[in-house]
Structure 1
Amino acid sequence: MTNFTARLLYVLVASIARMPWSWLMRCGDAMAAAMRRLDVRESRVARRNLQLAYPRMPVDERERLHRAILRGTARQALETLRLWTRPHARNLALIRESHGVDLFDDAVAAGKGLIVAAPHYGNWELLNQWLASKTPISILYRPPESAIGEAFLRIVRADDSGRVTQIRAEGPAVRQLWKLMKAGGVTGILPDQQPKAGDGEFAPFFGVQALTMTLLNRLSERSGATVLFAYCERIGAGPDFALRIEPAPQAIASPDVAEGVAALNAAVEQIARRDPAQYQWTYKRYTLRPPGSGEDNPYRDLETH
């Protein structure tokens, strides 16, 4: 029944996504205006994150950025529905610029394992499709709470040639990734999700301590795999993207975990600062606080809003 419902959901999403790009973008702008007017959860979280990350930014400038973030978030949601339900080859034609592809090709050819760190910037679903077009890839993901939602994600993230393996970010995932790296495989990891308490290390992110995954650091340090950052950045006014692949700082693979996670956050922050409106500020990145700091969850008052 779960799979059947997920396929019905896919049909519904596909019918919505058939609208022309210009219509989808206008719908996204209307959604963003409603989100801001109603001050929904995403709006409140984005505003709080901006207060934390840009404390010295003038209030009026922060509000302009807040509007741009909500507009980008709504557009990205509808944009992704279209990418999920169209042939991947047609989607990849939206990538008008490619930078650093030789780094990716060389890392795959070396056969020593490759970790693609893909921050929540631009459109990471289009990036997944590009990666699958180049090589078999295993994508680490955090499953949604809904079984139907997870079944839906497995449908929309699969590719026609079966080159995408989706790995739940749970205990057995670590063993799977070790085997994959030893075999010279490729994995994609979203490096800016808050791990569970005890599964990460605190490091600065936009000047605020954030619990950060140690998996990427330990996996790269112990396996010797190459680490590259990759993202599909929106360019221009239309549905156009630039694919960018960049080398990760060497410190990401440091045997000192604290140094490794600090380098990871600094690299993600550098990408997010390219165009803050394209970063996922609607995510509660700072929920867990350093032990003994006396700091409270900065979103607690929003949860009782």
Structure 2
Amino acid sequence: MMSRLGILFLRTMALLPLRWVRALGTALGLLLYVLVFPRRRVVDVNFRLCFPQWSAAERRRATREVFIHVVQSFLDRGWLWHSEPEVVQRRLKVTGAVADLAGNEPTIVFLPHFVGLDAAVTALTQQVQRRFLGIYTQQSNKIVDEWVFKGRHRFGDARGMSRSEGVRDLIAAMRAGHIMILLPDMNFGAEESIWVPFYGVPAATLPSLSRFARLGRAKVVPVVPQLTPEGYEVRVLDAWTNFPSGNLEADTARMNEQLEHYIDEMPSQYYWVHKRFKSRPPGEPGVY
């Protein structure tokens, strides 16, 4: 019942002017900042580890902004997934090296976990004439799962594949012309990860970007979405050169280093509510 009401609420958001949706997101974000202390502490710990030069006041200000942007981007799913296509396209501006996504060359989009992640997926599938492939994690609630799946595959020729379908199927789809959208920058546990620095802190990081690029003989094109007053700017950056290099650890460290540069441009729009450093190297204490 609650899931249906939540989806109905977000459908209602699609009917409102964007400035109203964003204003509500600001109010709810500040409310959650005050009420949800455990998650607020996660963000603060992440900032202390990654930006040790910041003062306590700077961390508090950035943490408030994180909560606001996370809630605003969540409410934006209403118009991203339910507004008329022309409204969606008007609010999503795709810029940069879009030509790197053209043609049929095997391509991986490196899409980090910025708050505009869903906006980037919508913008690419709506405005770039290619087939897209994403690795889809099923939601525990069937109603929410169906809603999220339909929303993320609303436009174009977008295909969601589960992790259980296997690497061969993923590589075959990419070689057949699908652009793979990959989001390997979260903590998925130490079992399948390697330890490379993230802002100078050892972080369990999936080496999947290098592996898929090597197996698919694919170029890697970073895409960085930025929440703006008008909607989102989805920046397609130049394809990386000399990637993969043949050195899995070096490639994964490079991914994190590049990500740091993207984050530094807009620190409060990264998904810092995630426990990025939950996994620790053997013998090191937890940080949360």
Q: TM-score surpassing 0.5? A: yes
Assess, with a 3 A threshold, how the Cα gap between structure 1 residues 41 and 174 changes in structure 2: closer, same or farther.
Answer: farther
Residue 285 of structure 2 corresponds to residue 285 of structure 1: no
What is aligned with 1:302? none
Paired position in structure 2 for 1:255: 246
Show the counterpart of 2:80: 83
Aligned to 1:74: 71
Name stretches of at least 5 consecutive residues in structure 2 with no aligned partner. Answer: none
| 1:1-305 pair list within 5 angstroms | 10-96=7-93, 98-105=95-102, 109=103, 111-133=104-126, 134=128, 135-161=130-156, 163-168=157-162, 170-235=163-228, 238-250=229-241, 252-290=243-281, 292=282, 294-299=283-288
Q: Check the 8 A contact 1:252/1:259 in 2, yes or no.
A: no
- What is the Cα deviation at residue 51 of structure 1? 1.3
Report the Cα distance in structure 2 between the residues aligned to 1:76 and 1:100, rounded to whole angstroms.
24
- Aligned partner of residue 72 in structure 1, secondary structure: helix
> Identity rate of aligned residues, in percent?
23
**Paired residue total:** 286
Report if aligned partners of 2:203, 2:280 keep a CA contact under 8 Å in 1. Answer: yes
Letter in 2 for 1:121: F
How big is the shift at 1:248? 4.4
Q: Matched residues in 1 for 2:116 and 2:264: separation?
A: 16
Q: Is the 8 A contact 1:112 1:224 kept in 2?
A: no
Q: Is there any run of 5+ residues in structure 1 with no aligned partner, and where? A: 300-305
In the alignment, the residues of structure 2 paired with residue 115 and residue 245 of structure 1 have an alpha-carbon distance, to the nearest angstrom, of: 12
Q: In the alignment, residue 81 of structure 1 is paired with which amino acid? A: G
Shift of 1:191: 2.4
* Deviation, structure 1 residue 97: 5.8
Aligned amino acid, residue 267 of structure 2: P
Three-state SS of the structure 2 residue aligned to 1:209 is strand
- What letter matches 2:145 in structure 1? E
Alignment deviations for residues 118-148 of structure 1 (CA, whole Å, 9 cap, x no partner): 1112512121122212221111233333333
Aligned to 2:197, the other structure's residue is in SS state strand
Question: After alignment, is 244-253 or 25-34 more displaced?
Answer: 244-253
How far 1:281 moved relative to its partner? 0.7
Distance 1:210 1:138, change over 3 A: same
Structure 1 distance, partners of 2:2, 2:269, is 32
Opposite residue 113 of structure 2, the aligned amino acid is H
Shift of the alpha carbon at 1:227? 0.7
Q: TM-score, normalised by structure 2?
A: 0.90
